[in-house]
């Protein structure tokens, strides 16, 4: 079996694409996990003694991959990595910008050996600039991008978004960049360097909030659970929970479904501008009406009238929801200790080349010996490299 014959994603759209994963934490592994789920053969190059995230993150980010431990600061470990990179289509890294140059594994060094290589980099703040050398994590990017300033109740001060959104955004953008670079390589025959950062991704995800400043000079304020510009749209309590209401149909239709047809003739709510000016009064009326029935009743009634409405669920309730169950958003896969674990699937459906969560997560270095053997190392060389990387030799006493 050749080095990359073990395709984790079966017949996925990226079957045959060979990826070397140098990433740690969340953003970089998000990219390589997506590539693996689409069928790419991904080999993680872990550092000696490297700690991975907690079990839940490990199950989510390290499935569908193989792992080899190499010390890239050692000439022998670096040579083994270079052999991997020579045969790869993609290398993904999220070191601070100077580290890859210091190790001699930057784009120029690797592309000189493998001109078809797509080299993908992810950093906190970009490859150059006054912050390039700083360590970067999700929450720092959230604050610097302006995202925290528009999150949370009005006047309450900055709030962190409840997920690592700049990590997942940056990882997903980098996946897009890798796919585009592979497509371009089909025309040119040459790879290229593609890179993004947590900061760039978070600012891009600010979307129309950022554009409000860029085009109109307006600094967006916090709006809590209200839509920033559309009225009425937001979250409201019901008799037994909460609903999100987004009356995209005519306001008259929403008022009728709400059981408050008198709102239509109220000059305070005659059009979008007047409703914006009197949002507080309108929200109070809607709040009082929605409190008279259950969440399930309002979800049924408003959707039947063409007004989008949905419940606000806790995570356990989400996975018990009938539509979520129908979508099969996770798969059960073998864990590193032989037990089954749940892993979120890639939220894409391909009619002919399905993505798949084929294998579960592994401990760092699980495949070191077999990968080195596939690279042509003999047993003595493998022993030397494995010993230097802090991995025990297999017991050959029997």
Identified catalytic residue from 167, 240, 321, 378: 167
The answer to whether 132 touches 97, Cβ cutoff 8 Å, is yes
Exposure of 164 in the CB half-sphere (CA atoms within 13 A): 15
Nearest Cα to Cα of residue 233 among 263, 288, 291, 272:
272
Q: Does residue 167 carry a catalytic annotation?
A: yes
Instruction: Give the residue numbers marked as catalytic.
Output: 167
């Amino acid at each position: 079996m050749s080095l990359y014959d073990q395709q984790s994603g079966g017949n996925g759209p990226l079957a045959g694409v060979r990826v070397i994963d140098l990433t740690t934490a969340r953003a970089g592994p998000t990219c390589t996990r997506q590539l693996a789920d689409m069928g790419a053969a991904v080999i993680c190059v872990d550092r000696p003694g490297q700690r991975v995230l907690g079990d839940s993150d490990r199950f989510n980010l390290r499935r569908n991959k193989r792992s080899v431990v190499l010390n890239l600061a050692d000439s022998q470990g670096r040579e083994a990595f270079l052999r991997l990179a020579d045969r790869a289509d993609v290398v993904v890294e999220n070191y601070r910008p100077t580290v890859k140059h210091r190790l001699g594994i930057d784009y120029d060094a690797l592309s000189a050996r493998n001109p078809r290589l797509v080299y993908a980099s992810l950093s906190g703040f970009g490859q150059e600039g006054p912050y390039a050398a700083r360590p970067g994590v999700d929450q720092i990017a959230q604050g610097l991008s302006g995202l925290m300033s528009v999150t949370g109740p009005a006047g309450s001060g900055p709030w962190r978004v409840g997920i690592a959104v700049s990590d997942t955004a940056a990882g997903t953008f980098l996946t897009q960049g890798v796919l585009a670079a592979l497509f371009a390589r089909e025309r040119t025959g040459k790879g290229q360097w593609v890179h993004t950062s947590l900061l760039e991704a978070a600012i891009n995800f600010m979307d129309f909030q950022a554009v409000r400043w860029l085009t109109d000079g307006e600094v967006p304020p916090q709006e809590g659970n209200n839509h920033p510009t559309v009225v009425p749209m937001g979250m409201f309590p019901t008799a037994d929970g909460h609903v999100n209401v987004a009356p995209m149909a005519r306001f008259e239709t929403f008022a009728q479904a709400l059981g408050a047809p008198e709102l239509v003739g109220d000059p305070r709510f005659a059009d979008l501008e007047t409703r914006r000016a009197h949002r507080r009064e309108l929200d109070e009326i809607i709040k009082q009406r929605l409190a008279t029935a259950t969440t399930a009743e309002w979800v049924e009634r408003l959707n039947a009238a063409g007004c989008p409405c949905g419940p606000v669920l806790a995570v356990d309730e989400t996975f018990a929801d009938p539509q979520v169950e129908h979508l099969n958003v996770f798969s059960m896969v073998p864990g590193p200790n032989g037990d089954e674990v749940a892993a979120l699937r890639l939220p894409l459906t391909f009619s002919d080349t399905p993505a798949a969560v084929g294998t579960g997560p592994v401990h760092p270095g699980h495949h070191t010996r077999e990968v080195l053997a596939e690279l042509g190392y003999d047993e003595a060389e493998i022993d030397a490299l494995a010993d230097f990387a802090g991995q025990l030799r297999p017991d050959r006493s029997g």
